[in-house]
Structure formats: structure tokens, C-alpha cells
Amino acid sequence: MDKGYIDNGFIVDLSHAGKTSEVIYELSRVLDMPEAKEKHICLKLGSIDLTQNELTSIRTLVELMNSELSFISTSSADTLEAAQGLDIKISEFTNEMEAPTFAPKKANDEVTKALNNIFGASSENIPPEEKTPSDNVRVIDDSDSEFVNYEENLDEESKVLHDEPESLPTLYIRKTIRSGQSISSDGNIIIIGDVNPGAEVIAKGDITVWGILGGIAHAGSDNNSYAKIRALKLNPVQIRIGDIFARRPDTVNMPFIQKTSVYTPEEAFAYKGSIVIRKIHEGN
């Protein structure tokens, strides 16, 4: 396979895993989702070294969950050699649609104002909660009494990173991103539509979804932890901001969110090594 995406595919990002047990644990969690059943699983394995026996166990797990291991991507020579010995296909993830090359420019003020009306202005209030030991993500709302204003105390380097997304160009996509598709950009991404589970969106800047975000989202892909992810409903299988990774909370029955004409917009941002999901304008 050359194109790096597949019809009826389901992308699982395991590149954050540091050892085989973490790969198995995270993969089993994702494959347990109804949306992952009977899909062509596409694994992003990053630099982790895996043996043939370990890859065989991973493929067996996928098959036990009524899915099929379609291909993997890896930067590890050991994993590559093991996969070739098992006839597992290797591919690099590429965009189905051609992403344009951008020249840096100031974000459109009218677009920024319109988005701020829906999602609120940039987050000035950040809760001082340390990361939770389980899912590294916390859901809050505007009534949270623990908010503190941290942006006034940023050093100069942090202020540059915090303001970087505002100077980046924006890629507009008017379509639903289907399972198995991967979209990336060197700027911000705005999607008018949903991001289905098993799809992936990666941006150097912010990600905004005018719909339900149900797949993988990685904002600040150049390790900028001040990037943000916004959606009318945040329902991510996996979420990253900079180098901070989180899963959706187990306590939220997210796979079964029903479409509706009324949503409470949400914003995800990083703080103290955790990802915080803030409900915006709740009750309005």
C-alpha cells in the first residue's frame, strides 16, 4: 500500500507508547470501541522496537476484536524488519487531499471574531489541577472555582509559543473526515463537518471542528503545548497537544453521542502536563 490511508480504515496512534505493554493496553482500549469493529486497522508505532513475537501478538489481538491489521508505520529499524518477516505492510500516513503549502500571514480578523463568538476568546483562565493518574484529562466548565489567570506570568519564550497559532495560515475543509483518513497542515485547521472515529487530524497550530470531533486530534504538532483544540462536541479517541497525550475519560460514554441541533462548544488545552477540556458558554 502506497497511499497511507484506506477505505473502511481505522487509525490508531500508538507512537507515544514506551514499551510493548503500553502498546497492547492502549490498542485493546481502542479496539473495544464499537466503531473499531470490522475495520482495517492502521497502526502508528513511532520509534518503539517490537519483535516478531510481539507483532504477532498485536495482530492476533486485532483479529480477536473482529478487525484486520492493514498496515503499520514505524521509524524503528527493528520493528520494520520484524514486520517484513511477517508480511505486515508498511506505509507512511499521507493526506487523501493535497494540503497546500502556506506562507505565514496574520489570521483573518473576521474569522477569528466569528470563532470567538462561538468558542470564546483565548483561554485566560487555567485550572491548577495536576494531571489525573488514569486518563491525563479533566473535564471542567466555566463555573469551576479553581481558575487562575496564568498567561500574565508567561516568560517571553512562552508568550511567543502561545501567540504562534495566531500568526499561522489556516486550512479550511468543508467535509466530514471519514474513518481511515489522515489530514495534516503546517498551519491551523478548521473543519466544517465531523471528524469520525478512526480518522486523524494533525496541525502545527490550532484545530477547530465545526461538528463532532470523534477521532485523533494533534494540535501543536511541532511540540507547541500552547495550541488548542476546539469543537462543538469533543469526543476524541485520542488527543494530543504538543507532546502531551491523553485519552477520553472512561467515565464518559462518548461513542454513542447523538447528533443534535444544540451543542455546548468545548475547548481542550494543556496545563501542567495534563489536557483540560473546558465547556464554553455553558447554559447560554
pLDDT over threshold 50, residue 193: yes
Question: Taking Cα atoms as reference points, which of 113, 58, 96, 59 lies closest to residue 179?
Answer: 96
pLDDT over threshold 70, residue 186: yes
DSSP conformational letter for 226: T
pLDDT digits (tens, 9 = 90+) for 5-39: 677 889 999 998 888 999 998 899 888 888 888 99
Q: Give domain limits for the chain.
A: 9-85, 109-279
DSSP conformational letter for 91: -
- Mean pLDDT for 130-136 is 43
pLDDT over threshold 80, residue 174: yes
Model confidence at 93, in pLDDT bands (50, 70, 90)? Answer: confident
Contact yes or no for 169/102 (Cβ under 8 A):
yes
- Mean pLDDT for 120-135 is 42
Question: In the structure grid, which three cell numbers stand for residue 141, read together?
Answer: 466548565
pLDDT over threshold 80, residue 101: no
Contact yes or no for 207/194 (Cβ under 8 A):
no
- Mean pLDDT for 123-131 is 41
pLDDT digits (tens, 9 = 90+) for 237-281: 889 999 888 876 654 444 444 555 567 788 888 877 888 888 876
Predicted local distance difference test score (pLDDT) of residue 165: 80
| Fold (CATH) for 109-279 | Pectate Lyase C-like (2.160.20)
Percent of the chain with pLDDT over 90: 40
- Mean pLDDT for 157-179 is 82
* Average pLDDT taken over every residue of the chain: 78
Alpha carbon of residue 11 to chain centroid = 11
